[in-house]
Amino acid sequence: MTGDEIFRVASLGLYITLLLHVLLTGYMRDMQLTALGLSAAVALCALFAAALTRHLRPNISQFGRGRMLLELFAAIFVVTALSLQQGMPNLPLPWLIGMAGLFPLALESMLGLAATFAIALIGLAMNITLDVQPVDWLPQTFATMFVGISAIFLSTALDRGLSAVQQAHANQRRFNAIARATRNAFLITDIRYRIKFSNPALQDVIGYSPEEFDRFGIHPLAHPDDVKEHHRKLRYLRDTPKSSIFSRHRIKHKHGHWVWVETRGFNMLHDDGIDGLMFSIEDISARKDAEVKLNEEHGLLRAVLDLNPSCIYATDTEGRFTISNLTFQRRFGYSSEDELRGKTIHDLFLRQVPKTQQRTACELAERLYQLDMQVIRSGVPQQDQELQGLWDSDLRSWFRVNKYPLHDAQGKIAGMLCIARDITDRKEYEMRLQHQALHDPLTGLPNRRYLLKAISDAMAKAQESSCQLAMLFCDLDFFKSVNDTHGHDFGDKCLTEITRRILAELPTQDFVARFGGNEFVVLAQVGIDEAKAKAESLLQAVSQQLTIDDTVVKIQTSIGIAMLEREHRNPSELIRDADAAMYQAKERGRNRAEIFDASLLFNTTKRAQMDVALRFALERNELKLVYQPKVSIINGAVKGFELLLRWNNPQYGAISPTEFIPVAESSGLVVPIGLWVLEEACKQLCAWQADYPEMKHITLAVNVSMRQLLQSSFLDDVTGILERTGVSPGLIELELTETSAMANPMQTIENLSRLKKLGLRLALDDFGTGYSSLAYLQKLPIDVLKIDKAFVQGLDKNPGDAEIVRLILALAQTLNLDTVAEGVETRGDMMKLKKMGCYLAQGFAFSPPVNADMAGEMLRDAQHYQVA
């Protein structure tokens, strides 16, 4: 009960009693109410009505502070006014004491105290007014105060008790609500583990109701694997006051499956309110499953990481390693991820190198660190970067690197993941392909494609820095003969060896390429003088005797030199000029170097045009043969003719043999043309022999080029012609220039020997202009030496030439060879030659070359020239 409730009942009793008192007094003493008494009576009725309403409708609050004070004043007024009525007792003190014990019950403490004092004062005032002795009013005043203050204490005590009870109720409700709402099971057991309290979640977790749980007891529910440990903990909890335990174990659910639970136990035996063991049981099966799954996934991820041959690592925002795989750990000499965790790339690099290299290692590490940081700072991935290895040990290695920023749950960058795949094999393959695309497989030299690029680069550089660039175009001389004689494989070995020689001769900064077949190009940033010097040393180096597989050969080269000029718009133009100069070198006798000048370009163009025209010359019958008689200086008789080729082209007119023969040589047309000449010669000889049988000893000399001679089919072709025409081989003389014969004398000896076996006569043309070695000369199966016209025509003017002619004649005599003097133009020369012992000659002194008809006439007339 509260102070308000007591007030509610007591106030009603007060007003009823007061009302009865007024009514009884009025009835028994015939009381006459004054106006004041009447208003007091009315007020009393109103107070009674209010108190009755308050009693009947307790839920309508009527205890507001103002209302209570008003009621107090009204009640004091009623009591005081009624006491002044005639017939009523004079002193209303019992009523005042009653009010002092009543109103503080419904008022706050301080207000109640004030009300008590007020009532006591009113009572005191009335006593004094009614002239009551202090001895009489003092106990009444004390009684008023005592009753008022007691009411205040009572009211306070009742209010406190009430709020404590309310609080307890609220706590109980809260506890019930929490116990119901939580997913964790709570239970309080006694010391024998019998349940004293449990919440509904217990049944949710293990499926058993508290009663069933009690029936089975706590022990058999635990998993066999966990039971021992769990019981040990329970015993400890039970036996250790105020202790607590934590246990993670499995409990068998009522439905038979195992439930993972986390149990926290508290020994609360010391707490009277609980007096038991308290347990909180959480079903962690889902978490456990997730944990297991997470572990499995982690294990899988670990395996994927560790089996991955790429280097994989992750760092935090400061570049410290957080995750790394086995490949990465091994690469840097670590045995586990834990060992590496927290380290930086700097730590890794410094650990790998000796003290002396620490600075370099630091710089390299810093570079990589900054690349990582770039990803972290920008949040932009770096994808498919191809980086070369950094260490001496892995300089050959290549990696394809991908880096991605890592984000935390809030989306902030938390680090970086790097995957570096070793692509060395692929890169090497690519580089090999690239190398193959740009290099010649036989010699390993840069090929034509690479050369063009190098020239372009050098041209660009030369434009920027105005440095000089020289190109040396080298073409091996008569290399075909090497192949034909010794086979292609041998030729390959020669090319390899010559490459070695060229490289050995030049400084490394010079660029050497194999332009094609037997052509090499050198690019050097030098002036013309140095270029010439280089060419000379190359000529020397290449022409050194070459021994391969016990076979000795001598290979020479012709070199064209061109300097890069402003006029050169592209690499081809520079090559064109060097090539033109090389042709010039070929024409001028090979095994030499020539420098390009503009006139060569004209020649080159002309030669190209002539080359095209010459291809049609045979079929269009533009080639003609003329015959120059060879005359005996002894008796002036015509002994034979040398066949000379003439070309009359509708576009170019008559073209000199000195012009078109080199073109035919270089284009290879000399081969079919040469065979045509030979066949024509044989046919003509047959015709003459038929017409002039007495001239059957007449010989015809036909020029053959080395190129023809080197044709593997040449022997068969010659045999065929001889057979077809029926000409005696001894009447056909094949003339080969000394220069070409001596370019590769071993080869020449071999080829000429085969021809000799057919019975043909062989002559060495232009003798004296080449550099015949006597050793080779005596081995050549030749019959005739033809003295070059340069010496013959110098007989008069140059004593040296006369001496040479004398020597040649002596040589021929020694070697038992015939001699023919070429280009004899004057009678004086003829006489001198005769005197020196030369018995055959040809030249304008006798006759210029004539056509077949005129030559036939000479034979018909058995012409004799004046030689005395």
The token pair that represents 164 in the structure block? 């404590």
How far separated are the first and last CA of the chain, in Å rounded? 181
- Return the number of the residue (475 or 679) whose C-beta is nearest ligand GTP: 475
Query: Which region, judged by CB under 6 A, interacts with ligand GTP, from 44-52, 89-97, 483-491, 826-834?
Result: 483-491
Residue number of the CB closest to ligand GTP reads 491
Q: How far is the CB of 486 from ligand GTP (least distance, A)?
A: 9
- Return the number of the residue (95 or 583) whose C-beta is nearest ligand GTP: 583
The token pair that represents 610 in the structure block? 């002539």
Q: Binder to ligand GTP among 40, 495, 531, 678 (CB under 6 A)?
A: 495
Q: What's the chain's length in residues?
A: 868
Q: How far is CA 859 from CA 467, 471, 732, in A?
A: 67, 56, 17
- Return the number of the residue (494 or 722) whose C-beta is nearest ligand GTP: 494
Q: Sign of the CA dihedral 779, 784, 790, 793?
A: positive
H helix or E strand, kind and range, residue 718 = helix 714-725
Question: Considering only residues 43-72, where is the footprint of ligand GTP by CB under 6 A?
Answer: none
The single-letter code of the amino acid at 302 is R
x/- map, 572-591, ligand GTP, by CB under 6 A: --------------x---x-
Burial class, 72, CB count within 10 angstroms (exposed 0-12 / middle 13-18 / buried 19+): buried
- Distance, in Å, from the CA atom of 602 to the CA atom of 282, rounded to the nearest integer, reads 104
Q: Contact between 480 and ligand GTP (CB under 6 A)?
A: yes
Q: How far is CA 370 from CA 346, 350, 363, 377, 401, in A?
A: 11, 17, 11, 10, 15
Q: How far is the CB of 804 from ligand GTP (least distance, A)?
A: 27
- Return the number of the residue (75 or 741) whose C-beta is nearest ligand GTP: 741
- Return the number of the residue (403 or 590) whose C-beta is nearest ligand GTP: 590
Q: What angle do CA 397, 398, 401 make, to 5 degrees?
A: 140
- Distance, in Å, from the CA atom of 689 to the CA atom of 725, rounded to the nearest integer, reads 12
Question: Considering only residues 504-523, where is the footprint of ligand GTP by CB under 6 A?
Answer: 517-518
Q: Are 636 and 830 in contact (CB under 8 A)?
A: no
- Return the number of the residue (401 or 663) whose C-beta is nearest ligand GTP: 663
H helix or E strand, kind and range, residue 209 = none
- Return the number of the residue (397 or 666) whose C-beta is nearest ligand GTP: 666
x/- map, 590-609, ligand GTP, by CB under 6 A: x-------------------
Query: Which region, judged by CB under 6 A, interacts with ligand GTP, from 74-82, 378-386, 477-485, 560-568?
Result: 477-485
Q: How far is the CB of 610 from ligand GTP (least distance, A)?
A: 16
Which among 64, 149, 142 has a CA at the least distance from the CA of 105?
149
Q: How far is the CB of 766 from ligand GTP (least distance, A)?
A: 17
Query: Which region, judged by CB under 6 A, interacts with ligand GTP, from 2-10, 101-109, 341-349, 488-496?
Result: 488-496
Q: How far is the CB of 482 from ligand GTP (least distance, A)?
A: 7
The token pair that represents 259 in the structure block? 């439930």
- Return the number of the residue (587 or 680) whose C-beta is nearest ligand GTP: 587
CA 66 to chain centre: 90
- Distance, in Å, from the CA atom of 819 to the CA atom of 614, rounded to the nearest integer, reads 33
Helix pair 65-83, 3-29: axis angle to 10 deg: 20
Question: Considering only residues 516-555, where is the footprint of ligand GTP by CB under 6 A?
Answer: 517-518
Q: Contact between 491 and ligand GTP (CB under 6 A)?
A: yes
Which among 3, 33, 378, 19 has a CA at the least distance from the CA of 163?
3
- Return the number of the residue (432 or 488) whose C-beta is nearest ligand GTP: 488
Q: How far is the CB of 601 from ligand GTP (least distance, A)?
A: 20
- Return the number of the residue (198 or 711) whose C-beta is nearest ligand GTP: 711
DSSP letter assigned to residue 749: H
* Residue tagged 């119901």 (tokens): 180
- Return the number of the residue (62 or 711) whose C-beta is nearest ligand GTP: 711
H helix or E strand, kind and range, residue 811 = helix 799-814
Site size toward ligand GTP, by CB under 6 A? 18
- Return the number of the residue (366 or 489) whose C-beta is nearest ligand GTP: 489
* Residue tagged 């009753």 (tokens): 147
Phi, psi torsion values for 701, nearest 5 degrees: -105, 130
Question: Considering only residues 699-728, where is the footprint of ligand GTP by CB under 6 A?
Answer: none
Question: Considering only residues 435-474, where is the footprint of ligand GTP by CB under 6 A?
Answer: 442
**DSSP class per residue in 360-401:** HHHHHHHHHHHHHHHHHHH---EEEEEEE--SGGGTT-EEEE
Q: How far is the CB of 658 from ligand GTP (least distance, A)?
A: 17
- Return the number of the residue (279 or 479) whose C-beta is nearest ligand GTP: 479
Q: Binder to ligand GTP among 282, 475, 579, 733 (CB under 6 A)?
A: 475
x/- map, 640-669, ligand GTP, by CB under 6 A: --------------------------x---
Q: Contact between 748 and ligand GTP (CB under 6 A)?
A: no
Q: What angle do CA 43, 48, 49 make, to 5 degrees?
A: 95
Which among 139, 107, 104, 111 has a CA at the least distance from the CA of 123?
139
Q: Contact between 477 and ligand GTP (CB under 6 A)?
A: yes
Bridge partners (DSSP) listed for residue 521: 473, 513
Q: How far is the CB of 495 from ligand GTP (least distance, A)?
A: 6
Which among 240, 248, 246 has a CA at the least distance from the CA of 267?
240
Q: Sign of the CA dihedral 134, 136, 140, 142?
A: positive
The token pair that represents 854 in the structure block? 């005129």
Query: Which region, judged by CB under 6 A, interacts with ligand GTP, from 78-86, 128-136, 487-495, 591-599?
Result: 487-495
Q: Binder to ligand GTP among 80, 127, 144, 483 (CB under 6 A)?
A: 483
Q: How far is the CB of 546 from ligand GTP (least distance, A)?
A: 13
Q: How far is the CB of 491 from ligand GTP (least distance, A)?
A: 2
Q: Binder to ligand GTP among 492, 573, 622, 783 (CB under 6 A)?
A: 492
Bridge-based pairing state of the strands 382-388 and 511-516: unpaired
Q: Contact between 478 and ligand GTP (CB under 6 A)?
A: yes
Question: Which residues form the interface with ligand GTP (CB under 6 A)?
Answer: 442, 475-481, 483, 488, 491-492, 495, 517-518, 586, 590, 666
